[in-house]
Structure 1
Amino acid sequence: MKQTQGVFFTGYVTIKVTGHHPELFFDLCARNGITVWNIRKVDNATCTGNVKLAHIRNIRALRRKTIYKLSFVNKKGLPFLTKMVMFRRPLVIGLILSMLFVFFLSNVVWDVKIKGVPLDIEKKITTQLQSYGIKPGAFKFNIGSPGDIQQKLLDDIPELLWVGVSEKGTTYHLEGVEKTTVEEKEKKGPRNLVATKEGEIVKMFVSKGQPIVKVHDVVHKGDLLVSGELGKSKEEEEDESKEQTAKELVAAEGEIIAKTWYETEVIIPLEANYEVLTGENKKKYYLGFGDFLLPVWGFFDHEFDQVYKESSQKNFHFLKWELPISFVKHNIQEKEFVNVERTNDEAKAEAIKQSTKDLQEKLGHEAEITFEKVLHETIDNGKVKLTLYFTVLEDIAKPQPLSQGD
């Protein structure tokens, strides 16, 4: 059986032997080293069998020494198939070109459908998709994954609350949900304004309610700033035993700007290592067959010592089927490690900058940092440790419900 393995690639022929006891001819072939298989006796004077294409010349020479008649019944294998294809070259070329054309069309974006959003948002989505290269006629293997597209759209279009992206054949389907800003018509009940933290009152803007404090007063967390009880004076607030006058309960509103104080600690190393990209890169493209990658562009190796590699893979399609062939792109970027050595003054400046930024983010953009001071500074184990003092102007008022039964 091993002698007949792979005969499709080398080719084989079915021969018919006619004569007295034709099986003896096949026996003669075997004794002369010619492989014969699938021998069948048609009648007493006829036998058929398969022989390798390479042995035909030997069989003809052997037949001349006998009285048997030899004829060829069938020809099979790759050599004969190739010959037939070459004979019908125009038909085969047309078939191959048709398949390549269908393959090409199967990997091109034909349509982008968007639903679930108003027309103005749809136009914005279309514009963004075109900037990403997603439009009719674009090759699909140059487009990112649906998850990447979804994240980009959410980042670039603030009006979108959610968007779903799916790829179906040659069409991209997008379904979005617009953000809706609902103006809460809250029915505010009677309330006071109290202090959220300790501070010195600098400015007061009271639109409703009875102010209890005044500018330059120092208040503590929880102190009453603006009362929702109209007609109640500060003296009445302090004298609980005094008979209360008729009063109206309102929802106190306003801003109480106070000077507040913060103390923070920050540590900055005098020496630090950073990993940065130099901007030099090299791109390589492959055809992927499972785990095997066949280079198609970018054959030469990079000369970078340290690299950061990004890879993307996109499978090819034929009609609605996903093929086990993919287009793989490797973006190899050079990176380097930068060693930064700071002086004491540079480390101190960096610490103040970082602390100021962190405090501003914590308090919000409406707060104003008006003063900063270094209270304590130490250098230990190559690190600068600072204790910083900040003065801030911010609104310290917060509402506190006022019980109408009080």
Structure 2
Amino acid sequence: MKYSAVQYKLYGELTLVLRGRNVGQCLGLLQQNGIPLRFVRVRNGVGYCNICLRDFDAVYRTCRAHHVRFRIEGRHGLPFWRQRLWRRKSLAVGAIAFLCVVYGMSSVIWRIDVTGPKDDEGVNEIREAAKSIGLYVGQRKSQLADPVKLQQFLLKKAPDFVWIGVRTTGSVTTIQAIPKVEGTKPLDQTPHNIVATQPAVIRSVSAARGRVLVKANQYVRPGQVLVTGNLADGQPSVPADAKVMGEVWYTSKVAVPLKVVQKGLTGETVQRDYIAIGSLRLRVWGWQEPHFPASYERDKITDWKIGNITSPIQWENVRLYEATQSAENYSMEQAKSSALDLAASDVRSQMRGEGRILGQSVLHEQVTHGTLYETVLTRVEQDIGVAAPIPAPQPKQENDTNSPH
């Protein structure tokens, strides 16, 4: 009877080393008796062959009848694997338990991400709606409804959103929501003036409503009325509406090093995975030690929770990157150009509303300890007007005709 390769693995296979005067005769007799032999060879009076575990008794009787001694050199196949595994019961039980835990944890929702809402109130509304329909951290994925039904239920529970999408990837559920567009806010109809917010020289005035009190190239101070809501000829006051562009000045102090040390990545990385149990970390993958001395780490650790309780078992991924340092020297021209760019960025962060830079002038320049220090004056054109209430009219003082002279 011949065996296939799968049958040899299933029934078990033995590698025998035979010694004796009648080794060749014994091997020939085994083949005549229909016992399959594999990898048969005889060298210097020593025979080698592989047999199926099922034929071991017949081989034993034949070798003993011909006074041939044999030794088992190798054991292969499922019966021997099962025997080895039984000897290490604790390890096998631990591996099976670990696989069961991993499978159980992978079938549970561990994190819910909400994207789309602009504020925490909208995020909380989505989370409460999801929790009310059974979508929460710790829920089994098999208990979740169809994504289309989840979207419909969420839209009913969260009416402030026009569309909600649900997608589950692994143990993470992502909820994408598009809030409804708010209606146009009514214009402020309270009469008011437009006043200057800072010192400036007027460049242009575009008034849609109100009476203009300034003109181009006029210098104005903070709080000065630019466009008033008080109309002439005794007409009722109106809310002034105007765009007043003025030239404003900003002073910025910047510092630019002439030599910069930069770090760059070479692309060499080493990855490691750990199971974190409390403060204990057990490495389960990535045994390669980095061959590069200069590196930095980037850690990613899960946030698995069961309900509101954080799981003591977490998965941590660590990547080690090789980093190199390089020094770059800047010329004075490059440093001055960078100083002007920094000053422009500083001005843009201070500007109120839209504006444009008209020009820059260096007031002071000094190089100390390898660093360029500059004081830069930046001229900016921007809207300097802001709404302000109209002051109440002052009561007129009547002349007292009975006062003594």
Over aligned residues, Cα RMSD in angstroms?
A: 4.0
In the other structure, the counterpart of 1:48 is none
Q: Relative to structure 2, which stretch is displaced further, 191-200 or 166-175?
A: 166-175
Query: Hey, what does 1:220 align to over in structure 2?
Result: 221
Find the partner of 2:368 among 370, 380, 383. Answer: 380
Contact map agreement 1:265 1:387 (CA 8 A) in 2 = yes
Q: Report the number of matched residues.
A: 267
1:128-147 mapped onto 2 (5 Å cutoff):
none
How many angstroms does 1:104 deviate by?
Answer: 4.5
Instruction: Provide the rounded CA distance (Å) in 1 between the counterparts of 2:307 and 2:204.
Output: 71
Residue of 106, 109, 116 corresponding to 1:108: 106
Inter-CA distance 212–318: structure 2 relative to 1 (3 Å threshold): closer
Does the 8 Å contact 1:106/1:319 carry over to 2? no
Q: Percent identity, aligned pairs only?
A: 21
Q: Deviations over 1:273-313 (max 9, x none)?
A: 34444443221123445555443322110122222212234
> Paired residue for 1:136?
none
* Match among 207, 223, 234 for residue 246 of structure 1: 234
Q: What do residues 341-368 of structure 1 show as CA deviations (whole Å, max 9, x unaligned)? A: 2222121111111111121122156111
Structure 1: how far apart are the matches of 2:187 and 2:252?
Answer: 38
Aligned 8 A contact 1:373 1:389 in 2: yes
Partner residue, 2:137:
167
Deviations along 1:218-276, one digit per CA (max 9) or x if unpaired, are: 22222221111111xxxxxxxxxxxxx52321111110111222222212122233444
Unpaired runs of at least 5, structure 1: 1-81, 112-139, 232-244
Q: Are 1:255 and 1:397, in contact at CA under 8 Å, matched by a contact in 2?
A: yes
TM-score normalised by L of structure 2: 0.55
Query: Match for residue 194 of structure 1?
Result: 195
Contact 1:230–1:249, Cα closer than 8 Å, also in 2: yes
Q: CA deviation at 1:189?
A: 1.8
| Residue 396 of structure 1: how far off its partner (Å) | 0.8
- 1:328 Cα deviation after fit: 2.8
2:297–2:318: 8 Å Cα contact kept in structure 1? yes
> Residue 199 of structure 1 aligns to which amino acid in structure 2?
A
Shift of 1:212: 0.9
1:385 and 1:96 map into 2 onto residues whose CA distance is: 65
Q: Distance in 1 between matches of 2:312 and 2:195?
A: 68
Q: Does 1:282 align with 2:246?
A: no
2:106 is paired with a residue of what secondary structure? coil
Counterpart residue number, 2:331: 343
Residue-by-residue CA offset, 1:34-87 (whole Å, 9 max, x unaligned): xxxxxxxxxxxxxxxxxxxxxxxxxxxxxxxxxxxxxxxxxxxxxxxx99x969
In structure 2, stretches of 5+ residues that fail to align are 1-81, 128-135, 142-171, 395-405
Taking a change above 3 Å as real, the CA distance of residues 258 and 289 of structure 1, as seen in their structure-2 partners, is closer
SS of alignment partner, residue 123 of structure 2: strand
Return closer, same or farther for 1:315/1:261 CA change in 2, 3 Å cut-off. Answer: closer
Change (3 A) 1:181 1:331: farther
Residues 3-402 of structure 1 mapped to structure 2, 5 A cutoff: 102-109=100-107, 149=113, 153=115, 157=116, 159=118, 161=120, 162-163=122-123, 167-170=137-140, 178=179, 181=182, 183-185=184-186, 187-231=188-232, 245-289=233-277, 291-314=279-302, 325-364=313-352, 366-402=354-390
TM-score w.r.t. the length of structure 1 is: 0.55
1:201–1:256 CA contact under 8 A, matched in 2 = yes
3-state DSSP of counterpart to 1:249: coil
Q: Is the 8 A contact 2:108 2:139 kept in 1?
A: no
What's 1:53 paired with?
none
8 Å CA contact retained: 2:200, 2:246: yes
- Whether contact under 8 Å (1:107, 1:318) holds in the other structure is no
